[in-house]
Structure 1
Amino acid sequence: MFVDHSKEAPRADISAVAALDEPNRRRLYEHVVRQPGPVSRDEAAEALGLARQTAAFHLDRLTGESLLDVVYERRSGRTGPGAGRPAKLYKRSTKQVAVSLPERHYELAGRLLAQAIEESETTGEPVRSVLHRKAHERGARLAGPEQADALAVLEANGFEPRRDGEAVVLGNCPFHALAREHTQTVCGMNLHLLRGVLDGLAESGLEARLAPRPGHCCVRLDPAS
């Protein structure tokens, strides 16, 4: 998941994964997601042999981490006055959680490649040309109108930027495995992505160029000429 402004999303994913380290909480999560419909606290507690208060505590923690969603339904099927209060029920969240160290963003690469193939089939423009344009557009959106610091944007998106004199080297490639197997395609995409970031940061004073070296991203940011 490429973020547009901060590290909050990756930190939230790490917190969510850590929440499942507690055995009863993990059992409750696995029980809820296996059910065909939403589950009440009483149902979950009975199924796992837990006290209702314990089940409620862990279910609410899972909800707080966005791993479960809460819905309210009347189990009796009755409506109107006298039907009683809707029951609080839990179901799998629509949120997707993924944590990788070092940070990787293969979903973004897949999305850009799919867009390039589809547009190329429609317009006849070469796939690589479309890919480079789409990557540049995405990079410009990552920079965003409120961003001014290139290193902050790059850090927020997993590139691990480090100053090297007036230049910036990138200690991590978010597309590492793909870049190793499809170097020309992925590194070209990455180059245009980072050019888009820099173009979105009008005052960055840097330009992106290919400079592959072991243990680093294939792109280096040098002072603009």
Structure 2
Amino acid sequence: MFVDDTEEVRGAEGLTESVSAVAALDEPTRRRLYDYVVRHPEPVGRDEAAAALGLARQTAAFHLDRLADESLLDVVYARRSGRTGPGAGRPAKLYRRSARQIAVSLPDRRYELAGRLLARAVEESDATGEPVRDALHRNARERGARLAAEGGGEDVFRLLERHGFEPRREDGAVVLGNCPFHALARAHTRTVCGMNLHLLSGVLEGLGETGFEPRLAPEPGRCCVRLEPAA
């Protein structure tokens, strides 16, 4: 069994958070502090960072806390002396690189999702002998169903909008104005468009949406899949 445990920030709220985090690094002192912390394998204290960069301790503390507020740094508490028990003093506030990954892409791209689906298909094919393409289509359909289940009751239009497909209605169909796998789809059209078709099939199945059927309909400037009214 393969488990996808990566947290993915989605939708307008997630984009706002990511932009805010990236913007926080535009301040020169804050960027210097961030670079200093991430170069160290062990958590860094305020005094250490201030001394290394020639800053007042209060200035370093302010910017380090701002980086932590933006989830660019994690805060941990530890006694640097190694002493424990009564008289050991309060633990120091330390900073280290956050485990969160931040990316801003306009228009929305989901290459990590595609990479995970493709890697999982290769691994399962190697383990079971199932053809890679069959494994990819099955995993994509299952992932689409999970996206629907995680949608909290959203309809298909809202869910596709939140996941970067830029849906719009056209003559009863739903046209997808953006392909989240654009560069991959251009280089490996058959593989990636087939994956996308089964991903969206899984979304519709997971939502119990019977009013649309996903069809391959590649056109310049659009996703290769569109949702046609069900016959």
TM-score between the two structures when normalised by the length of structure 1: 0.95
Deviation of the 1:215 alpha carbon? 0.3
Q: Name the Cα RMSD after superposition.
A: 1.7
Which residue of 2 is the match for residue 183 of structure 1? 189
Provide the rounded CA distance (Å) in 1 between the counterparts of 2:210 and 2:48.
56
Letter in 2 for 1:205: G
Q: Is 1:70 the counterpart of 2:75 in the alignment?
A: yes
Aligned positions of 1:88-99 closer than 5 A: 88-99=93-104
**For residues 139 and 183 of structure 1, what CA distance do their matches in structure 2 show?**
19
Identify which range, 127-136 or 96-105, moves more after superposition. Answer: 96-105
- Please state if 1:79 is matched with 2:79: no
Structure 2, unmatched stretches of 5+, are: 1-5
C-alpha distance after superposition, 1:186-218 (max 9, x if no partner): 000000001111111114621110000000000
Letter in 2 for 1:180: R
Deviation at 1:139, TM superposition (A): 0.5
Stretch of structure 1 that moved more, 120-129 or 144-153: 144-153
Q: Report sequence identity in percent.
A: 72
**5+ unaligned residues in a row in structure 1: which ranges?**
none
2:187 counterpart of 1:212: no
Of the three residues 191, 206, 214, the one matched with 1:200 is 206
| Inter-partner Cα distance in structure 1 for 2:100 and 2:181 | 22
Look up the SS of the partner of 2:140 in the other structure. helix
Contact kept, 8 Å, 1:170 with 1:216, in 2: the verdict is yes
Cα displacement string for residues 116-171 of structure 1 (whole angstroms, at most 9, x for unaligned residues):
11111222111111110100000011111622311111111111111113111111
Query: Judging changes above 3 Å, is the alpha-carbon distance between structure 1 residues 3 and 205 closer, same or farther for their aligned structure 2 residues?
Result: farther
Structure with the bigger RCO (C-alpha within 8 Å, sep 6+) is 1
Q: Which residue of 1 aligns with 2:109?
A: 104
> Partner letter of residue 119 of structure 1?
E
Partner of 1:121: 126
The match for 2:159 among 149, 153, 157 is 153
Task: Label 1:3 to 1:48 Cα distance change in 2 as closer, same or farther (>3 A).
Answer: closer
How many residue pairs were aligned?
Answer: 225
